[in-house]
Structure 1
């Protein structure tokens, strides 16, 4: 058993607490999100006003899926911002 104290993890910031406590309804799993990703990205590129509430909710709470969706949207836009 080590007597060396372990460093404390950083405290959660309010933005992180809000993300953990947000209402995730309608709920999608990452697998369901991935299955809908192409359709979602195409809709965002062709009609910026399109809304998929379940996808939007999932992407707000899942950084990995959000990063993937943003990358796909940028790819479909031809890399332009």
Structure 2
């Protein structure tokens, strides 16, 4: 029987309330990333929860942040 790494188990157990689908996350991604770059203290609970539990969307957000902050 395969064993899941601890980080995979933790991602499956993340509370995703308020729920945000990948499509909704993608629609809000640009605005969210620009807000985070402008103010690192910016909070969007729906986006934060989704990104904590979705590696694909989180990777996209991190890539956009890196692109916007590259000098």
* TM-align CA RMSD: 1.3
> What count of residue pairs does the alignment treat as equivalent?
71
**Gapped regions of structure 2 (runs ≥ 5):** none
Q: TM-score, normalised by structure 2?
A: 0.91
In structure 1, runs of 5+ residues without a counterpart are 1-7
More helix by share: 2
Deviation, 1:19, is 1.3
**Deviation beyond 4 Å, 4+ runs, structure 1:** none
* Among 51, 68, 71, the residue aligned to 1:76: 68
**Other-structure match for 1:5:** none
Per the normalisation by structure 1, the TM-score is 0.80
Q: Give the greater-gyration-radius structure (CA).
A: 1
